[in-house]
Structure 1
Amino acid sequence: MPGLRRDRLLTLLLLGALLSADLYFHLWPQVQRQLRPRESPAGCPCAGRASSLDLDSAAAPSAPRTVVHNFSHARLRAETGGARPRGPSSKLQALFAHPLYNVPEEPSLLGPEDLLLASQEALRYYRRKGARPAQETGHGARQPGSPRCRFPALLLLSPPSLPPWAAAESPSPAGELTTLAKVQNGPERERTAYLHLNRIVNVDMILISRCVVTYIRAKNGTQKTRQCEFESHLEYYYERRQKLYKEQMNLTSLDPPLQLRLEASWVQFHLGITRHGLYSRASPVVSKLLHDMRHFPTISADYSQDEKALLGACDCSQIVKPSGVHLKLVLRFSDFGKAMFKPMRQQRDEETPADFFYFIDFQRHNAEIAAFHLDRILDFRRVPPTVGRLVNVTKEILEVTKNEILQSVFFVSPASNVCFFAKCPYMCKTEYAVCGNPHLLEGSLSAFLPSLNLAPRLSVPNPWIRSYSLAGKEEWELNPLYCDTVKQIYPYDSSNRLLNIIDMAIFDFLIGNMDRHHYEMFTKFGDDGFLIHLDNARGFGRHSHDELSILSPLSQCCMIKKKTLLHLQLLAQADYRLSDVMRESLLGDQLAPVLTEPHLLALDRRLHIILQTVEGCIEAHGEQSVIASGPAERPAPDSGQVNLTN
């Protein structure tokens, strides 16, 4: 008996030791992580906003691989702090501390003529614009966190005597998705038509048009189309729902109107634009602007100007017509700032097929984000600040938009994900839709530049524009002496414009962007003003291929700014390797990893090609002819194209 008790004691001691080890090594670290305060700028904002994200509205569990993969990375970064490496081991901080990034820029800023905006005029303009939302709605804009107007199903009057096969069911728990009718389509299948918010939505590809539901019933090998017996009831439902929605939206808000704050980051960003770039090197405004675009709630959503052009709202001749394979929206935030939203269309590890023409390639949201970081590392500062964000397409787009056309292109997929697509004359179908998971969707947000009313911009065709046809070629692709012709044309004959074109070509070659058909610049700064590097979403498509024709301005003209060359040579050194500083810089984005490792390594390979091209030019024409120190010093070889490295 005593022996048995000793055995029991040993067993209890062993179990107690195992339990203590489990508590100490497993449970206690988890409790510490939960109790540890997290810094919101560095971590993922999703955890703090979990209560505001409506994840169960019309959504069965569905997990597209891309969204889940990157969302899990965002959570991992939140748990680990999500901060970039700091201190002596940070190559990015060492790069920005290098004397080359602290050299005073020339020409020095002398006065108001070097600033893009006159501050007083700009502030008056923004005050007027800030008051417009209140005038349009009759009340103040909705405060962040205040209840959103919905379509409560309880307010809908029940239509009399629906057919027995059409049953109006109770709404979903979120009160947004209501089953309107179940239609038998053969003995083995039943299809369902839904009301989603204020639209009739067909989630199973039944034709629903002008509030009329039709269905096809197969019988004896023949197909017959029959109009629903309750067309009038559908019209009644739809009109009643629209009426209630408008009444709710026009109710006087009890919340105080949102006020335009002149210290808002986007206002300060606009006021800080000079002839040297969109922002200064050490400007704290950019970091604040990126943070605000990542976290501020949206108060409106609308199509961009090129989509509106196709709908007759503006002059189509000023834009390149979009197709359904790309989509962008304008989102306005609670501080009245605006950003261009480009949703995720392609997985990060996918390469653009070699058979794709550059003008039908996908527009990638991660390319916009990476292009901004690369532009800042190169010290160009010509790409508007861009940040990644997980957007709730239901709450942050659908529920805040007033554009009925945009509302009409939302639907619920068969996988119960909320989707929408572009509205344009061709290729705009549900096959080209972007979908949340079920509501969250990755995208890039690019800060808007000042209004054209305040800061007019000039859109100029790129002299090295490509042929947007299946078989045509431009003159520069056939004539190796093409640059001699360009140098004789205004404004490339006397200004700094040609050197800026070559800077842009170097930037495009690094990201692999073949779609630079136009460039823009502010008219106030004249012919020597910097070029704005907009629309970089077709970059980073093929990491395994280096498109040498993008470098044609450099190889044909054999000219480069001394400042640009010094930065490229610095980034080729091991202590400041371009791929390393890009990797570190992109870790600060919510959607990290923004680029896959092959794309980062391709940057180093392409940088080496650029430097070899410059070396070939120097060997052929001499250093003084190739390297230009400033606008007044522009000697260049008369002709001759250097051979590019294969």
Structure 2
Amino acid sequence: MALPLFKRKFKVVAVTLLLTMCALHIALDLLPRLSSGAPSVARGGSTCSCAPSAAGDALGRVFSNLSGVSGAAGLGPASPSIRGSSRLLALFQQPVYRTAGPALDEKNRLLTVRSIGHLDSRKEADSDGWTSDLEYPAPMLPTGLDAYMRYPTWLKFHLGINKNALYARHDPVVEDLLNDLRRQKVVTVVMKSGGTQLKLIMTFENYGQALFKPIKQTREQETPPDFFYFSDFERHNAEIAAFHLDRILDFRRVPPAAGRIVNITSEIRDVTQEKKLLKTFYISPANNMCFYGECSYYCSTEHALCGRPDLLEASMAAFLPDTLLAKRKTWRNPWRRSYNKRKKAEWELNPEYCEQVKKTPPYNSGTRLLDVIDMMVFDFLTGNMDRHHYDTFEKFGNDSFLLHFDNGRGFGKHSHDELSILAPLQQCCRLRRSTYLKLRLLARPVHRLSDVMRESLARDMLAPLLTEQHLAALDRRVSIVLRNVRHCVRVYGVEIVLDADTDLHLEAGLKHQEHMRTGDVPD
């Protein structure tokens, strides 16, 4: 009799304990979330499986879990909560971030379901490593909203690319794609051909792909002063930070990138069939799993990638559509450096160099010159001196945005501002009005770039991604760009310098408009 009685008492205690835990969970977790209107999500997870009904809902979905990670150790000043005083959300609610773009018809979209549906099965990857060699899920994709919701995230991303940007503002698909880059199961790995440093192409279980760049330096290490720009290490955190900066500037020209902790053994060695890669794995004297792969410069035991014991930080950048579907054209950057230890490029010697560029196609018409200046302002903010080429999609001709690939050599020096990167702005004295307006916002205390970057980066798995010194350098460089614009306006006038790509006034008040007429553009 004692044993059945004991069992009954144990059941009562267990049920009581379970009910108590449920009550505590409701009181401490669910009720505060419900009362504040914030969805309950796990770190890095999406908040809702339904499509947002308005831009505000999409914003809430994209940034709803910022507050969940803002207090993590080592992040510096805590980021404001999304429902409280989120600087990032407040920035994106400004008029310049809410202007309606031109209507997009089928010809202004890079891909359609029809064009993808007729793609042959598996194709060879393009040599630049940014093109997918995946096999699309079916010979002909089903159409309609219900079918679209069942597409894998990477396919939704591809279908969203248009002539203006890689993705729409506040598109929740981007957040879902970042989560896939962090969490999707890796099924195959191959080395990316070419390049001075090792990069891997990882294929996921859902046929999506990512470009893997491993950690090479700690966050605190700066580029040695005696290093040339073309021999610097590529930084995985720079790739991720560049994506966030690009989104904050509203360019949307950098492929989405996220941080990930990769298991070298199970997610690289055990799934690759590439013999050249397999033969470079070894166990270090510290009993860590290491490998170095093959590349033209930093691939040897002296530059091996070692886990702790087999876990390694890396950036994962989303791939673009196969070039069989979306051909791209590579252009030489007019302000390309010489890549020579003794020689300088022509633009470094000729202050009137821009006049030559403006007479040369495609820079003599359209928006291409302004696109390049935007790109170089972006590179100045990150400190990237390695922009030798850029790509565009052939489908859109010369009337398209520039793809900002390979940002790994950014964020190398927080203590030095490389003013020569701003040569296109200084020599041409041209800038989009929308770019100027966004930089003006990011220079103000309420929208300070360092604060919105800190808040945006805080939600990445590898946060903190930038040191406080690098964040402070962003603020300093925004001021430098604005000073250059002010100088140009004083020389040439605002109508010449700032291209009217938006109907928004430079400021709401007449006082600032008077400043612009007199050439006094405040920082």
| TM > 0.5 fold call | yes
Partner of 1:281: 169
Task: Trace 1:407-426 onto structure 2 (pairs within 5 A).
Answer: 407-424=278-295
Conservation of the 8 A alpha-carbon contact between 1:375 and 1:382: yes
In structure 2, the residue corresponding to 1:125 is in which secondary structure?
coil
**Deviation of the 1:424 alpha carbon:** 3.2
Partner of 2:250: 379
- For residue 90 of structure 2, what is the amino acid of its counterpart? A
1:101 counterpart = 2:97: yes
Partner of 2:115: 121
**Deviation of the 1:406 alpha carbon:** 0.9
Please list the CA deviations of residues 563-583 of structure 1 after superposition, one character each: whole Å capped at 9, or x if unmatched: 111111111111111000000
- For residue 429 of structure 1, what is the amino acid of its counterpart? S
Partner of 2:192: 304
Q: Whole-Å Cα distance in 2 between the matches of residues 417 and 74 of structure 1?
A: 32
Partner of 1:237: none
Pair 575,424 (structure 1): closer, same or farther in 2 beyond 3 Å: closer
Q: Whole-Å Cα distance in 2 between the matches of residues 601 and 517 of structure 1?
A: 27
Q: Alignment partner for residue 395 of structure 1, among 257, 263, 266?
A: 266
Conservation of the 8 A alpha-carbon contact between 1:388 and 1:590: yes
**Deviation of the 1:305 alpha carbon:** 3.4
Partner of 2:105: 111
In structure 1, the residue corresponding to 2:366 is in which secondary structure?
coil
Task: Trace 1:232-243 onto structure 2 (pairs within 5 A).
Answer: none
1:451 counterpart = 2:339: no
Q: Whole-Å Cα distance in 1 between the matches of residues 490 and 261 of structure 2?
A: 50
Conservation of the 8 A alpha-carbon contact between 2:45 and 2:179: no
Conservation of the 8 A alpha-carbon contact between 1:418 and 1:435: yes
**Deviation of the 1:40 alpha carbon:** 6.4
Partner of 2:43: 42
Q: Whole-Å Cα distance in 1 between the matches of residues 276 and 346 of structure 2?
A: 42
- For residue 199 of structure 2, what is the amino acid of its counterpart? K
Pair 84,587 (structure 1): closer, same or farther in 2 beyond 3 Å: farther
Q: Whole-Å Cα distance in 1 between the matches of residues 304 and 411 of structure 2?
A: 22
1:360 counterpart = 2:216: no
**Deviation of the 1:97 alpha carbon:** 1.5
**Deviation of the 1:118 alpha carbon:** 2.2
Conservation of the 8 A alpha-carbon contact between 1:568 and 1:611: yes
Partner of 1:327: 198
Task: Trace 1:480-629 onto structure 2 (pairs within 5 A).
Answer: 480-629=351-500
Q: Whole-Å Cα distance in 1 between the matches of residues 296 and 82 of structure 2?
A: 50
Q: Whole-Å Cα distance in 2 between the matches of residues 115 and 468 of structure 1?
A: 36
Q: Whole-Å Cα distance in 2 between the matches of residues 434 and 557 of structure 1?
A: 43
Partner of 1:86: 82
In structure 2, the residue corresponding to 1:95 is in which secondary structure?
helix
Pair 290,507 (structure 1): closer, same or farther in 2 beyond 3 Å: same
**Deviation of the 1:608 alpha carbon:** 0.1
**Deviation of the 1:112 alpha carbon:** 0.7
Q: Whole-Å Cα distance in 1 between the matches of residues 247 and 79 of structure 2?
A: 19
Partner of 2:179: 291
**Deviation of the 1:124 alpha carbon:** 4.0
- For residue 597 of structure 1, what is the amino acid of its counterpart? E
Mind listing any 5+ residue stretches in structure 2 that lack a counterpart? 1-20, 31-38, 47-68, 126-134, 136-147, 503-523
Please list the CA deviations of residues 494-517 of structure 1 after superposition, one character each: whole Å capped at 9, or x if unmatched: 121000000000000000000000
Conservation of the 8 A alpha-carbon contact between 2:414 and 2:473: yes
**Deviation of the 1:349 alpha carbon:** 0.6
Q: Whole-Å Cα distance in 1 between the matches of residues 384 and 345 of structure 2?
A: 17
- For residue 109 of structure 2, what is the amino acid of its counterpart? L
Q: Whole-Å Cα distance in 2 between the matches of residues 99 and 396 of structure 1?
A: 44
**Deviation of the 1:428 alpha carbon:** 2.8
Pair 115,43 (structure 1): closer, same or farther in 2 beyond 3 Å: closer
Q: Alignment partner for residue 153 of structure 2, among 251, 262, 265?
A: 265
Conservation of the 8 A alpha-carbon contact between 1:349 and 1:596: yes
**Deviation of the 1:426 alpha carbon:** 5.2
Conservation of the 8 A alpha-carbon contact between 1:42 and 1:83: no
- For residue 290 of structure 1, what is the amino acid of its counterpart? L
Mind listing any 5+ residue stretches in structure 1 that lack a counterpart? 1-27, 46-72, 133-140, 142-259, 307-321, 632-646
Q: Whole-Å Cα distance in 1 between the matches of residues 29 and 493 of structure 2?
A: 61
Q: Whole-Å Cα distance in 2 between the matches of residues 511 and 40 of structure 1?
A: 32
Q: Whole-Å Cα distance in 1 between the matches of residues 40 and 277 of structure 2?
A: 36
Pair 115,426 (structure 1): closer, same or farther in 2 beyond 3 Å: closer
In structure 2, the residue corresponding to 1:87 is in which secondary structure?
coil
Q: Whole-Å Cα distance in 2 between the matches of residues 470 and 123 of structure 1?
A: 49
- For residue 345 of structure 1, what is the amino acid of its counterpart? K
RMSD (CA atoms): 2.8
In structure 2, the residue corresponding to 1:528 is in which secondary structure?
coil
Q: Whole-Å Cα distance in 2 between the matches of residues 573 and 74 of structure 1?
A: 22
Q: Whole-Å Cα distance in 1 between the matches of residues 176 and 80 of structure 2?
A: 16
Q: Whole-Å Cα distance in 2 between the matches of residues 117 and 267 of structure 1?
A: 10
Conservation of the 8 A alpha-carbon contact between 2:79 and 2:86: no
In structure 2, the residue corresponding to 1:458 is in which secondary structure?
strand
**Deviation of the 1:448 alpha carbon:** 0.2
- For residue 473 of structure 1, what is the amino acid of its counterpart? K
Please list the CA deviations of residues 196-241 of structure 1 after superposition, one character each: whole Å capped at 9, or x if unmatched: xxxxxxxxxxxxxxxxxxxxxxxxxxxxxxxxxxxxxxxxxxxxxx
Conservation of the 8 A alpha-carbon contact between 2:79 and 2:455: no
In structure 2, the residue corresponding to 1:363 is in which secondary structure?
coil
**Deviation of the 1:44 alpha carbon:** 9.9
Q: Whole-Å Cα distance in 1 between the matches of residues 73 and 407 of structure 2?
A: 26
Which structure has the bigger radius of gyration?
A: 1
Please give the TM-score of this superposition, normalised by the length of structure 2. 0.77
Conservation of the 8 A alpha-carbon contact between 2:44 and 2:179: no
In structure 2, the residue corresponding to 1:500 is in which secondary structure?
helix
Q: Whole-Å Cα distance in 2 between the matches of residues 513 and 97 of structure 1?
A: 29
Q: Whole-Å Cα distance in 1 between the matches of residues 247 and 271 of structure 2?
A: 33
Please list the CA deviations of residues 391-434 of structure 1 after superposition, one character each: whole Å capped at 9, or x if unmatched: 00110111111111111111111111111113135553100111
How many equivalent residue pairs?
423
